[in-house]
Structure 1
Amino acid sequence: MNLFKHLLFAVLAVGFSISAYGQNADMNSLIKEGIGLNGQQDYAGAIEKYKQALLIEADNAQANYQMAFTLKAAGKGSEAIPYLKTAIKTGGTLTGPAYELLGSIYDADHQPQQAINAYKEGIRLKPDYQPLYFNLGIACFRAQKYADAELAAIEAIKLDPKHANSQRLYGLVTFHQNKRVPALMGLCSFLLLDPKGARADEAYTNLQSLLKGGDLKAVKADAETLLLNKLLSASVTTAAGNLETQLKNIFTNVGKLTEKPGHESFFRDYYAAFFYKLSQTEHFTTAVKLISLSADKAEGEKWLENNAAKLKALNDWIASTERTF
């Protein structure tokens, strides 16, 4: 009798396992199909697939996240929020992306403080998830909290130095604080990573404005910022309009100044020291050409085609040169 009971239990257990496996397979297939439909912008079809998946497992993080992602894409951001909160409760790998999406929904709905709060809460739980810092910086920038945006941009850069838009963000938020030298170096870093396209055109225009002494508005500045701004102006004045000479003067003079004790900062270690080193190398002319591709696009494209070896040498030097924080 006992043997029969054990055998019956084993059969039931196997049957339950097979059933559970089948349900998981069905759910994963439904999610995959939903992602495919979302990619085709068939949002209604994708939502239906996710609904079916959630009938199998209501708390599944992936199904909830993908549902929220598609709802936002369909212009139904407010409907996505409950699904994101469910995904967040699981505490899994989607916590960071879920907070990123939640913040972007609030941001799109013109709720800047809620967006900022979402990104900050995500950072508290997932401090190594770079997009949260970048998007926090964007939200602070839009809310005109430029100092907070600068701090967020710095953390984003530390986590992913090759993320071009984090470099651009740093350049923009320092520009808005009339920190002309940090802004210029941030924009140069962006252009070294992403020298073509609309954002590159905008960055190059801003760079030219900085060289000509432009700022976005009168703001109070600390002693070091005032000193660096004066140094930039003096460096440009002696260069007679030649971009390579202007940048070489700025990078050299700022590099020498910030080498002195008492100037320790992220800007000094990451930007000033790097561009000082670059300005003293044979690769500097190539770097300036890359930074200024937007000045003459046709000529720039021709230059790129004819100077692949120089460009590779520059990129190899950049890759081998440590930029500390």
Structure 2
Amino acid sequence: MSMMDQLRERAKKNKKTIILPESMDKRTFKAAQTILKDGLANLIIIGTPQEVEEYSKGFDITGATIIDPNTYEKTEEYEDLFVELRKSKGLTHEDARKQMLSDYTTYGCLMLKAGDADGLVSGACHSTANTLRPALQIIKTKPGTKLVSGFFVMEVPNCEFGENGVFVFADCSLEQNPDPEKLAAIALSSAESFKFLVGKEPKVAMLSHSSKGSAKHDDVTKVVEATRIAKELAPNLCLDGELQLDAAIVPEVGEAKAPGSPVAGHANVLVFPDLDAANIGYKLVQRLAKANAYGPMCQGIAKPVNDLSRGCSAEDIVGVVAITAIQAAGEDK
């Protein structure tokens, strides 16, 4: 059974209600058909009757709850909530309603904040900024969270590296150029996400173009400092750096470049030094190795809100919904 098959089974056992706000995209309805048929989650799809009719043609979405913000009985309640949450920013009722009715992700986040759903997945036809901005404005961060960051769950077929081909890559979507403190926070959050989702012990590699001092540069120093901070904050976590990618995942290379490292050659959580490297890295693996890339998932938001790549497939949406449902179930504990 693949990792995603295992995650789907977990989602089925504790069904949650997930919002899909992108009713203007056929991939939403193709994914919804699978999610409902397989019993992975209860679905709320936000859209007008005209939008739903146009884009759902050919797909069976029986069982989904369709909510039209223009006529839904709780729209006024959500409007009041929105104004209350943003009153310090001067948000008026007029502007609140205009934003809610024109931006279904904002509307969905208000539903989530009000407790009328358990999670939200968007991004198939919206940028990461347009997906996460309302989440951070309305739902806000989890108590005690220093940083909201993003990660991908990567499932590489026929791969002996990582956890039988399963990895977490971070941060592929949010932090452009994290300083050492932020990079350390990303590493710790990603380790927790790996353990929660995959159920195995994380082995975290802090990636660089250098392995254990093989190169000197300010970018290398940043990763070395981030490694030091992360080890201080989580001394029992299996984490090491700085490591080149091959030293991190290939046993014989790890032994040669970083002898004695508890991580080298066995890493399953890869923390990239910046957004450029992480985003390029996951897309290379996705396209060239034909890996399944689920995400970008978010860590640090008070309730599960997850992004999608605009190049995602309907099957990618199904996977992210399953993971979002599992995250929501974890929030209940």
Give your verdict on TM over 0.5.
no
More helix by share: 1
More strand by share: 2
Q: Choose between structure 1 and 2 for higher RCO, CA contacts under 8 A separated by at least 6 residues.
A: 2
User: In terms of Rg, which structure is larger?
Assistant: 1
